[in-house]
C-alpha cells in the first residue's frame, strides 16, 4: 500500500490514507481493522499480485511509523476473491474471514489464515454455491464452542425476484473439516432481506444484525430492518424484527451494530446514528 501524508486540520498534525487505485500490488481500498494483543493491525483489501485481494498486517515501528506486510495474496477461484469485512482471531492467533466472490459459480468463501514456516497458510473452510448463500462480505464471529456464524447478502432463495440472503453456522468436525448449517433464510420481504451487516451476539447466544432491504418505509424494496435470532430447541432459531427503518431519519443500515452490557443496540443508517433499547 502507498501511504499519503498531509495536513488534516488544526487539530491533527497529519492524516494517513491508503492507495486509492485498483491494481495496487500490495492492496487498496482496505476494509475494517482488527488488532492483536501487541497492537498490530490486520485487515483485508482489494488489489494484490493477482488483483483478487490481500490480507495485510501493519506493525508499529516507532512513535508514528508503521511497517506493512502482505500476509496473503488471494488467487481467484483457487482461494476465493474480493475479501472484505473484518478479520477475527482464535486463541492460537489464526485469522478467519470471508471472500465475497460473485453471485454466480464463485459465491464466496469462509477461510482461515494460519502461521506456517515463516509465512501464512490459507485454508478454505467453506465454499458457497448460491443455494446456501452467496456473497458473505462482513466477516464471521465465534461462539463459545468455536463454531462460526455469518451472513450472506444473497442466495438461499428468492424474495419477489430478489436474492434473500442467509444466516449460516459452520461447525468444526473431525479431520479438520467444517459442516454448514443454514440458520435462517429470509423468506418474507416484509420482514427484511439482503442482510447488510455481519452479526453480533449476546451472552445468551442470541444473534443481532440488519438487512438493507425489506420491511416498510419510503425506500425502494423497503428500508431494511434490525433483527434478532434466538436459539431454540432442536436447532431451531426464532426470528424477530426489532425495528423497521422507514427512511425518514434513517434507513438502509450499512454495517454491524454494537451491543452494550444492558442489551442496548447502536448502529448507523442513512442519515442517522440510532439506538434500540430492549
DSSP string of 30-77, one letter each residue? ---EEE-TTS-EEEEEB-STTSS-EEEEEEE-SSS-EEEEEEEE--BT
Tell me the mean pLDDT in the region 153-177: 85
Residue range 21-35, pLDDT digits in tens: 445 788 888 899 999
CATH 2.40.10.500 fits 1-127, yes or no: yes
What does the H/E/C string look like for 208-233? EEEEEECCCCCCCCCCCEEEEEEECH
Report the Cα 29 to chain-centroid distance in Å.
15
CA atoms within 13 A on the CB side of 102: 6
Residue 177's nearest CA partner among 131, 231, 110, 108 is: 110
More confident call, 160 vs 148: 148
- In the sheet that holds 272-276, the strands lie side by side as 258-259, 265-269, 272-276
Taking residues 60-65, what's their average pLDDT? 83
Selected residue with higher pLDDT from 3 and 88? 88
Domain borders along the chain are: 1-127
Distances 44 to 188, 189, 190 between C-alpha atoms, Å: 33, 31, 34
C-alpha cell at 183: 440458520
Contact criterion met (CB below 8 Å) for 238 and 230: yes
Residues 143-146: contacts with CB under 8 Å, at least 24 apart: 143/201, 143/205, 144/205, 146/90, 146/172
> What does pTM read for this prediction?
0.88
Of 42, 94, 51, the closest CA to residue 74 belongs to 51
pLDDT tens column, 215-263:
987 788 899 999 999 999 888 999 999 999 988 767 889 889 999 999 9
**pLDDT of residue 145 exceeding 70:** yes
pLDDT in tens, 184-227: 999 888 899 999 899 999 999 999 999 999 998 778 889 999 99
Which of the four pLDDT bands, split at 50, 70 and 90, describes residue 104?
A: low
What dihedral do alpha carbons 223, 226, 230, 235 form, nearest 10°?
A: 40
Q: Distance between CA 43 and CA 83 in Å, rounded? A: 9
**To the nearest whole percent, how much of the chain has pLDDT over 70?**
88
Amino acid at each position: 500500500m502507498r501511504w499519503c501524508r498531509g495536513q488534516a486540520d488544526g487539530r491533527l498534525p497529519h492524516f494517513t490514507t491508503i492507495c486509492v487505485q485498483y491494481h495496487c500490488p500490495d492492496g487498496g481500498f482496505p476494509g475494517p481493522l482488527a488488532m492483536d494483543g501487541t497492537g498490530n493491525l490486520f485487515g483485508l483489501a482489494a488489489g494484490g499480485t493477482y488483483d483478487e485481494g490481500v490480507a495485510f498486517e501493519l506493525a508499529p515501528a516507532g512513535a508514528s511509523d508503521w511497517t506493512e506486510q502482505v500476509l496473503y495474496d488471494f488467487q481467484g477461484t483457487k482461494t476465493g476473491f474480493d475479501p472484505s469485512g473484518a478479520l477475527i482471531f482464535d486463541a492460537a492467533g489464526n485469522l478467519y474471514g470471508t471472500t465475497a466472490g460473485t453471485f454466480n459459480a464463485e459465491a464466496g468463501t469462509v477461510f482461515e489464515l494460519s502461521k506456517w514456516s515463516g509465512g501464512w497458510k490459507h485454508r478454505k473452510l467453506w465454499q458457497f454455491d448460491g443455494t446456501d448463500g452467496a456473497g458473505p462480505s462482513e466477516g464471521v464471529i465465534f461462539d463459545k464452542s468455536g463454531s462460526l456464524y455469518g451472513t450472506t447478502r444473497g442466495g438461499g432463495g428468492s424474495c419477489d425476484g430478489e436474492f434473500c440472503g442467509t444466516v449460516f453456522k459452520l461447525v468444526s468436525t473431525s479431520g479438520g473439516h467444517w459442516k454448514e448449517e443454514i440458520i435462517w433464510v429470509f423468506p418474507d420481504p416484509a420482514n427484511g432481506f439482503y442482510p447488510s451487516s455481519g452479526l453480533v451476539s449476546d451472552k445468551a447466544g442470541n444473534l443481532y444484525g440488519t438487512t438493507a432491504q425489506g420491511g416498510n418505509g419510503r425506500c425502494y424494496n423497503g428500508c431494511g430492518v434490525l433483527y434478532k435470532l434466538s436459539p431454540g430447541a432442536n436447532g431451531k432459531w426464532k426470528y424477530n424484527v426489532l425495528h423497521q427503518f422507514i427512511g425518514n431519519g434513517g434507513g438502509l443500515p450499512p454495517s454491524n451494530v454494537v451491543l452494550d452490557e444492558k442489551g442496548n443496540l447502536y448502529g448507523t443508517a442513512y442519515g442517522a446514528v440510532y439506538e434500540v433499547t430492549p
